[in-house]
Amino acid sequence: MNAEDAVLVRLEGRALHLTLNRPRVLNALDHAMVRRLDEALAEAATDPAVSTVIIAGAGERGLCAGGDIRTLHDDARAGGRASLDFWRDEYRLNARIHRFGKPYVALMDGIVMGGGVGVSGHGSVRIVTERSRVAMPETGIGFVPDVGGTRLLALAPGELGTHLALTGTPVGAADAILCGLADHHVPSDRLPALVTALAGCVTPENVTRTVRAHAGEPAAGILGGRRAWIDRCYAAASVEEIIDRLGETGEPEAKETAEALLALSPTALKVTLEAVRRARRTASLEEALDQEYRVSARAFAHPDFVEGVRARIVDKDGDPRWSPHRLADVTTTDVEGFFAPLGAGELGLARR
């Protein structure tokens, strides 16, 4: 499938529609799709006929499940570099979405994970439905949250973002809004009417009023009721201490979380914790993306990424053999190496 078929671009009234069109793989992003999205947004930014951009996913399952993980896995196994070029352009696209001067409406219906968060979570109008499942699940495959996800999660209230970053837990509409990953809840059966109405919107104020007119209260979430133990446990200085605190709270959900964390890549967990905490101190999304690019380049070369994808997605045996397999064997020096500058290979968005 070529990029023109994988990303459908059409103008309806004043709204430019960008539809990710690979429903058989849950609209997973490849490099050609990223470039097409970037080109479409660059043109839309100066096109007087376009007042609003709407991004959505084809099919009934979701907006986007993330990047094309199998392709990235194969590239890593072969010792390739194509994935680094993909991430370079993907992170630039994430920054463009963040800076886009017109309303950018993301319909986050269904599954929105990884790269799907990257093409939606930085938009100015982020809409979830009762079917939304939003997550940054990278630690489950031995990787680290990227596409600006570390900054989004770092800015969530308390330690909710740290919890989501380490566990990769998907959240529904109410919790996505609570964590700052979305802005409005619109029931899925109202989306067609909303899209039709947006075609006639000329100003950002029109867009805001139109979205609010179609929005409604989501069903209650679960994170608010768990906030006390999440904030207390994830404020710990290390992953080991976080897990200890989770196991000692007396809360069944906390104990289950501790057990789940112990099954994940020790390296990915420690690097993710450091990445979120550093992202909290960054001055901009661009600075966070520069950091993520360094981390992604190192995680791509680490054996846990290939092993995690093998166990979770390729062979699906659910039994990854992490290297190292104990948290105690991942040193501070090991973690700091993921954040070291890349020299001439830097992404360099914060310098622009």
Chain segment 107-130, per-residue pLDDT in tens: 999 999 999 999 999 999 999 999
Mean pLDDT across 132-139: 98
Q: Which helix (H) or strand (E) holds 97?
A: helix 82-99
pLDDT at residue number 351: 80
Over residues 232-284, the pLDDT tens digits come to 999 999 999 999 999 999 999 999 999 999 999 999 999 999 999 999 999 99
| Spatial contact of 65 and 111, defined as CB atoms under 8 Å apart | yes
Residue with tokens 């609570």: 178
Q: Is 152 exposed, middle or buried (0-12, 13-18, 19+ CB in 10 A)?
A: buried
* CA pair distance 280, 300, nearest whole angstrom: 23
Whether this prediction's pTM lies above 0.85 is answered by: yes
Going by pLDDT thresholds of 50, 70 and 90, the confidence category of residue 43 is: very high
For CA atoms 72, 85, 27, 178, give the dihedral sign: positive
How does pLDDT run across 161-184, given as a tens digit for each residue?
999 999 999 999 999 999 999 999
* Per-residue DSSP letter, 327: G
pLDDT for 221 beyond 80: yes
* pLDDT band at residue 193 using 50, 70 and 90 as cut-offs: very high
Confidence band, pLDDT 50/70/90 cuts, at residue 229: very high
Indicate the pLDDT class of residue 352, thresholds 50, 70 and 90.
Answer: low
For β-strands 15-20 and 62-64, DSSP reports them as unpaired
Give the residue numbers marked as catalytic. Answer: 67, 115, 138, 146
In the block, which residue shows the tokens 């064997």? 329
Using only C-alpha atoms, the chain has a radius of gyration, in whole angstroms, of 20
Distance between CA 332 and CA 37 in Å, rounded? Answer: 38
CA distances from 146 to 136, 216, 294 (A): 8, 30, 10
Mean pLDDT for the stretch of residues 29-35: 97
The pLDDT value recorded for residue 4 is 78
pLDDT at 39: 98
Mean pLDDT of the chain: 97
Q: Is residue 345's pLDDT more than 90? A: yes
- Percent of the chain scored above 70 by pLDDT? 99
What local confidence, expressed as pLDDT, does residue 1 receive?
A: 67
CA distances from 100 to 61, 141, 350 (A): 27, 31, 16
Q: Looking at residue 258, what is its pLDDT?
A: 98
pLDDT in tens, 62-104: 999 999 899 999 999 999 999 999 999 999 999 999 999 999 9
> Is the confidence at residue 316, as pLDDT, over 80?
yes
351 closest CA partner among 277, 289, 281 = 289
Nearest to 97 by CA among 136, 138, 44: 44
Judged on CB neighbours under 10 Å (0-12, 13-18, 19+), 187 is middle
Please determine, for residue 311, whether its predicted confidence score (pLDDT) is greater than 70: yes
Q: What is the pLDDT of residue 2?
A: 75
